[in-house]
Amino acid sequence: MAENELYRIALNKAMSQCSVRELCQDDIRSKLMLWGIEKNDNEKIIEILVRENFINESRYATAFARDKFKYNKWGKLKISAHLKIKKIKGDIIREALDSIDDEQYTNMIKLLLDSHRKTVKAKNQYELKAKLMRYGLSKGFESGLLYEMLGDLGE
């Protein structure tokens, strides 16, 4: 009886957390393990949460991509890597990344590079471009886009 009670409490707690913010299956699986729920019960709880639409991987991935881009100013490569860590499927990741507006994306890169350029100390143009390229890559932006934008810096 106590085991059944623990299962019911964990299900209600998981539903409550999923209704407050977007969580993926991996997040819930980790929480259930921390709460001491057995693996079989974990999967049953996750199945119920998915069926009742408390968990929706596509909705989660889209919200994650939008928030990390908008607030953390991450590029698509970094967002994709973090979604892969959360065990989100590739097609869902592509769909989430496609939801980011291309014009906003390129404008974000330009703004970040311009802002960072003001703080960078470089001996010459080559060193400046290298430092800005490293910065853009660390934020998860594609090297091709960065190279194209840094090519406009002039010599």
Model pLDDT, residue 45 = 95
pLDDT band at 153; cut points 50, 70, 90: low
Domain ranges within the chain, ordered by starting residue: 2-51, 57-98, 102-153
In this prediction the pTM is 0.90
- Least confidently predicted of 4-8, 12-16, 69-73, 114-118: 4-8
Model pLDDT, residue 6 = 87
Average pLDDT, the chain: 93
CA-CA distance, 136 to 77, in Å (whole number)? 11
pLDDT over threshold 80, residue 22:
yes
DSSP string, 47-89: HHHHHTTS--HHHHHHHHHHHHHHTT---HHHHHHHHHHTT--
DSSP string, the chain: -HHHHHHHHHHHHHHHHHHHS---HHHHHHHHHHTT--HHHHHHHHHHHHHTTS--HHHHHHHHHHHHHHTT---HHHHHHHHHHTT--HHHHHHHHHTS-HHHHHHHHHHHHHHHHTT---SSHHHHHHHHHHHHHHTT--HHHHHHHHGGG--
